[in-house]
Chains A and B, each alone.
Chain A
Amino acid sequence: MTTVVEIENLSKRFVIRKEKSLKERVVNFGRSQKFKEDFWALRDVDVAIEAGTTVGLIGPNGSGKSTLLKMIGGILQPDQGSVRIRGRLAALLELGAGFHPDLTGRENVYLNASILGISREQTDKYFDAIVEFSGIEKFIDTQVKFYSSGMYVRLAFAVAVHVDPDILLVDEVLAVGDEPFQRKCLERIRQFQAEGRTIVLVTHSLEQVAEFCDRAIVLEHGRVIEDGSPRDALRALRADFEETRVAEQERKAAASGVEQPVARFAGISLRSESGQTSEITLSPGEGLHVAMEITSDRLLEGAVIEIGVTTSMGTTLYMTSTTMLDRELGPLKDVTRCAFYLHSLHLGPDEYAVRATLRDGAGTELHHVPVAATFSVSGDGQSLGPVRTPADFVIN
């Protein structure tokens, strides 16, 4: 496979200046280091992207995803290292880049197409298709300042999908328009994939990554922390989010100054109906026991336990709680042992995880374990997807 994007040892530094005016600069001349703050948006990034693959860039806000995309697009220049590309590149970092509110839809289509590198001749050829895709035939000769925001992005996207690049950079622009329009957009992305184009996608929608990408790169604080299959990447990212969340919660707890009643899961274990306790593989429709031990420093009334079954990507498939089951947990003190029994799980063949949450009577989270234990489900090769049901086929 040919490498189309080669990123070597890439670093990008932003200097945050706290002064801007000439006066401030003159007054602070020589001491200006004090008024600067360095911020590494990217640090030592090494990535090579092969032709024809779809790569998702994911990470929390401010992790450098968009910066990396802009560096690939040549919009930002590296401070260290290099970015080299092959083939025609088109960047969809913003829909309707260069749209002028005073010009009509038609004029803006030509302008925007030209900005995206589509020649006038090609635009003439695609024009009807663009208008049809956008679905705003009636308003094409109206100034775009009179468009609703939905019409605006639809027209912009309609132009954008007619680009003809070898490498397409997409930055969170898929989440526009109503649902039918979104479906159209996603279909178009699939078509791009089928045409052998390379797509680099920045997104916050982890489902999109799981669905479209061959590979995902997780960034955090400008560094690549995971680069591999979407499944591994999503797991790493979810673990990362979880860490941030816990840290934030602790900070909040510390800030509030009130001593929280400390109760937590000391251990959670699974047992299959057939008695397996480690490396559990359930047969279709088999039940599962989720046993747990809770330690509490002092007396805790009205606590609630929630458990859920999630996919390995972290999507919750099933959730229940002691409240929903209409059961009282009773006062917690020292060590409490309890168990949920899920009678039969009709899950498709895959790996799954169990998550568990402990809340006090007011609903405040005391302890949350996103992946308390994992298990897999065996299949009979008759179905795919997380839900399983016996199926037949008949010809009438």
Chain B
Amino acid sequence: MGRVETLKEMSSVVTDRSAAIASEPLRPAGPRRGFATGTVSSIRDLVAQRELLGMLVRRELKARYKDSAAGFLWSLGRPLAMLLIYYLALGQFLGAARSVVDFAIFIYAGLTAWGFYSEAILAGTGSVVANAGLVKKIYLPREIFPLSAVGSALFNFGVQLVVLVLATIVVGKFPVGDDWVYFPLALAVLVVFATAMSLILSAVNVYLRDVQYLVDIFIMVFFWLSPIVYLWSFVRDALLDTTMSPATQELVMNIYLSNPITLAVIGFQETFWAAGDGVHPETKVPYAHVPDLALRLGIALAVGILLLWVAQRIFTRLQANFAQEL
């Protein structure tokens, strides 16, 4: 009798399944290829896989420091070493600290922002190639690979941010009031640009592996092009000393300031480097502020979101041949 019941149960499972399937429309296997129409379905696929995204981020983080005794504390090792190097070499030996109060906080604010951006892009660029085994064997929305790289960079960023905040408390200059306005904007700009760049670079890297080496170089160049270890006003002052016409100087300065990462770094410094609201220790002149920083960050964010959309579409277009190129 039990047997008969299981059989009945089973046949009802079978009919339920076939009925459920019959009611579904046929859909193309794999991602939709339309340039504009595919966005919604891509996002829906990604939302459906958010659990996996979390898993992959955790995998990155867990696996990275798995066998080390200090574990994820090592993620602080590199930025702290860099801080020490720049503080000593640039701040003390070259004398940059003389014109920048709380030089360590100033550098660390920039390094935290930059560290996230560079880590996200470096890991993101290699993410699809690194997960070749999965790409070739299972269909997943492949965006999750660069996204998980950004996610794990975001986690490390969080750890560094805690250290940064603690440092501001230690020096007794915890940011208050208006300073905080720039932080969410700057962070949003960083995340959006890092994600967009990771998407494009990870896809292109599949076809042209040279990209990962190029990215390495660009990361280094842009580190020095961003006002991380120097004040942005140094650039303006340096321009004043040139023979360029004032209009050209203005133009160059505007180009310099339209780098979204530069803006984000300045945003971080405005927030966490409270001494920036004060005056220069020697000349007693107040530190310069970028005019309309919030507006500039807002525009950068808008451009970034547009770029993110384009990046996703490029990614979708390029991912069609991932499995055979890897």
Contact = CB atoms under 8 A, between A and B. Distances in A.
Mutual binders A and B:
yes
Interface of A: 1-4, 6, 14, 20-22, 51-52, 70-77, 82-87, 89, 91, 93-94, 97-98, 100, 102-103, 107, 110-111, 114-116, 119-120, 143, 166, 194-197
Contacts of A103: 59, 62-63, 66
Contact of B24 (A87, A94, A102, A114): A87
B99 to A, nearest CB: 44
Interface stretch (B113-121, B134-142, B177-185, B190-198): B134-142
Interface stretch (B15-23, B80-88, B168-176): B15-23
Contact of B134 (A89, A97, A102, A143): A97
Interface in B41-84: 51-52, 55-56, 59, 62-63, 66-67
Given A103-B66, A195-B14, A94 B25 contact: no
Contacts of B323: 70, 75-76
B28 A83 contact: yes
B139 A91 contact: yes
Contact of B138 (A100, A116, A120): A116
Contacts of A102: 62-63, 66-67
Contacts of B299: none
B139 A166 contact: no
Given A83-B29, A98-B134, 11 more contacts: A4-B21, A51-B17, A52-B14, A73-B29, A73-B139, A74-B139, A76-B324, A82-B28, A98-B131, A194-B10, A196-B15
B13 interface: yes
B135 to A, nearest CB: 8
Contacts of A20: 209
B284 interface: no
Contacts of A196: 13-15, 17-18
A51 B51 contact: no
Given A74-B139, A98-B133, A114-B51, A197 B29 contact: no
A143 B59 CA distance: 13
B259 interface: no
B210 A22 contact: yes
B14 A74 contact: no
Nearest to A195: B13
Contacts of B29: 71-74, 83-85, 89
A196 B136 CA distance: 28
A115 B134 contact: yes
Given A114-B55, A119-B51, A143 B10 contact: no
27 contacts: A1-B18, A2-B18, A21-B210, A22-B208, A77-B30, A77-B33, A83-B29, A84-B26, A84-B27, A85-B26, A85-B28, A86-B21, A86-B24, A86-B27, A87-B20, A89-B29, A91-B139, A97-B134, A98-B133, A100-B59, A110-B55, A111-B59, A114-B55, A115-B134, A116-B138, A195-B10, A196-B13
B31 interface: yes
B251 interface: no
B19 to A, nearest CB: 9
A252 B170 CA distance: 83
Contacts of A119: 51
Contacts of B30: 74-77, 83
Interface in B184-230: 208-210
A130 B155 CA distance: 31
Contacts of A107: 59, 62
A143 B67 CA distance: 10
B320 interface: yes
A49 to B, nearest CB: 12
A15 to B, nearest CB: 8
Contact of A94 (B13, B59, B131, B137): B137
B52 A87 contact: no
Interface string B275-313: 000000000000000000000000000000000000000
